[in-house]
Amino acid sequence: MDGIHDMGGRQGFGRVRYALKAQTFHEPWEKRINALYSLAVKAGIFNMDEYRHAIERMEPRHYLSASYYERSLTSLATLCVEKGILTQEELERRAQGQFPLSMPSAPGRVNVPTRQTFKPGDKVRVRTDHVPGHVRMPGYIRGKAGVVVSESPKYPFPDAHAHGIHAEDEPTYDVRFNAGELWPNDADPAHVHVGVFQSYLERVS
Amino acid sequence: MPDNIHFRLNTASVEARVDAIQAAFEERGMKPAEFIDEFRELAEEKWLPENGARVCARAWTDPAFKARLLANGRDAVAELGLTMPAHHRHLVVLENSANLHNVIVCTLCSCTAFSIIGLPPDWYKDLEYRARVVRQSRTVLKEMGLELPALTEIRVWDTTADTRYMVLPMRPSGTEGWSEEKLAGLITKDMMIGVARIAGT
């Protein structure tokens, strides 16, 4: 989905709020929620792709105003409700207030049937698919051309794995893009490397 | 937007919401308190940037190890007793040089090789870094205190899959004969993310 989480290349943001030796956690509850979603993954309630997708499905105003760990909390609660482990009523009764959850999921998809294999040096283009469910293709590479630099081991296909659909594992290709082609006339010169699933790519002849 | 105001006024605090889930898990026999203690120990004592620093120092002093590290990071760090979660199937180590600088990001969320370089710092997961570093890499690095020479090539690595990255900094001159431990002391989490370099490199 072309969600609010797809931040790469968006304009209008100010300086990174950087500090030397910055902390990962600021409040004790943040560590607890990180542990609780890890526990849910370990218990097999959901997988990491489902977890990421439930964050992406947060209502956009909520996503943007929530801290990182509030997003974790919202994803965990949403999935526990969707899987029938908890109900929103129980959560709101216990929390004594509203407990906002993410928006419902759109359907996922299986691997692209015409997917091709590539080798380092191949010129590729990112397909111009618009996917209603989970996808790990950042919008800034859609339709853009790059060069394959290497291949990873096979992973579960996130577009299916986030939706409980069976699909074949696929490799990701490390594809090198030129920032000047991703954002013509408006990017600092650089190469941008993205791990792109096989189903998202087609060969450029 | 009346709906939005309604949403803000009546929402339980984040702490109350975490408590609610924890209590519900407790009631279902999932033993969340024990797991939180285990997690705290991992986060505070195991997933530390000192792990990655040790990997880098070994790569600086042992060329055969460095070759294995660059070929297959996951297997090479295992030689030092370091493990990665099962779903991190690949660790790609990115070597900086005088003319090349690597920097990592996850524009879609916050993915990192956290068991090796430590859990990501707050700014790494925040909107500004995720939005800007892919498009304005040189500007963002400069704002963060790293001014690169004009001719240095920048490579930005977006962690969109479960392949994880870490940057191997350049070994500074004048460190010949140093122990691995002393060399490791030069390396920080920010250097392995790629928003800092060792002075003089």
Nearest to B107 by CA among A24, A187, A4: A4
Q: What is the mean pLDDT of each run of 10 residues along chain A (205 residues)?
A: 97 95 93 97 96 98 96 98 98 97 98 96 97 98 98 96 97 98 97 98 94
Residue A148 gets which letter from DSSP? E
3-class DSSP assignment, residue B139 = helix
Distance between CA atoms of B138 and B153, rounded to whole angstroms? Answer: 10
Q: At what angle do helices B63-71 and B49-61 cross, to 10 degrees?
A: 120
- Which one from B13, B56, B110, B173 is the annotated catalytic residue? B110
Which of B1, B14, B100, B193 should be substituted to probe chain A, the one whose Cβ sees the most A Cβ atoms within 10 Å?
A: B14
Overall average pLDDT of the B144-173 stretch: 97
Residue B4: band (very low, low, confident or very high) from pLDDT cuts 50, 70, 90: low
Beta-strand ranges (E) seen in A77-159 are: 123-126, 145-155
Say whether pLDDT at B2 is over 50.
no
- Residues linked to residue B164 through DSSP beta bridges, in sequence order: B91
**Range A119-137 burial, b when 16+ CB lie within 10 A, else e:** eeebebbbbeeebebbbbb
pLDDT at residue A5, as a whole number: 98
pLDDT at residue A205, as a whole number: 82
Q: Are A54 and A133 in contact (CB under 8 A)?
A: no
Contacting residues for B106 by C-beta, under 8 A, at least 6 apart: B112, B124, B130, B158, B159, B160
3-class DSSP assignment, residue A143 = coil
pLDDT of B76-129, one tens digit each? Answer: 999 999 999 988 999 999 999 999 999 999 999 999 999 999 999 999 999 999
Say whether pLDDT at B192 is over 90.
yes
Which of A94, A141, A174 should be substituted to probe chain B, the one whose Cβ sees the most B Cβ atoms within 10 Å?
A: A94
Of A42, A95, A191, the CB nearest to B155: A191
Of B107, B128, B154, the CB nearest to A190: B154
pLDDT at residue A152, as a whole number: 94
Contact list, A56 vs chain B (CB under 8 Å): 108
pLDDT at residue B81, as a whole number: 97
Q: Tell the burial category of A97 from Cβ atoms under 10 Å away from its Cβ (0-12, 13-18, 19+).
A: middle
Distance between CA atoms of B116 and B112, rounded to whole angstroms? Answer: 9
Contacting residues for B91 by C-beta, under 8 A, at least 6 apart: B72, B73, B74, B77, B84, B113, B116, B163, B164, B165, B166
Tokens representing residue A13 in the block:
């943001």
pLDDT of B24-59, one tens digit each? Answer: 999 999 999 999 999 999 999 999 999 999 999 999
Distance between CA atoms of B129 and A18, rounded to whole angstroms? Answer: 9
pLDDT at residue A74, as a whole number: 98
Look at B12 and A99 and tell me if their CB atoms are within 8 Å: yes
Share of chain B above pLDDT 90, in %: 94
Of B22, B144, B159, the CB nearest to A195: B159
Question: With left for phi above 0 and alpha for psi between -120 and 50, is residue B111 left, alpha or beta?
Answer: beta
What are the C-alpha distances in Å from B53 to residues A85, B76, B184? 41, 14, 5
3-class DSSP assignment, residue A173 = strand
Say whether pLDDT at B134 is over 90.
yes
Tokens representing residue A104 in the block:
């419902």
pLDDT at residue B3, as a whole number: 53
Q: What is the DSSP string of B86-137?
A: TT--EEEEEE-BTTEEEEEE-SSS----HHHH-SPPHHHHSHHHHHHTTTSH
Residue B155: band (very low, low, confident or very high) from pLDDT cuts 50, 70, 90: very high
pLDDT at residue B1, as a whole number: 44
pTM: 0.96
Annotated active-site residue B111? The verdict is yes
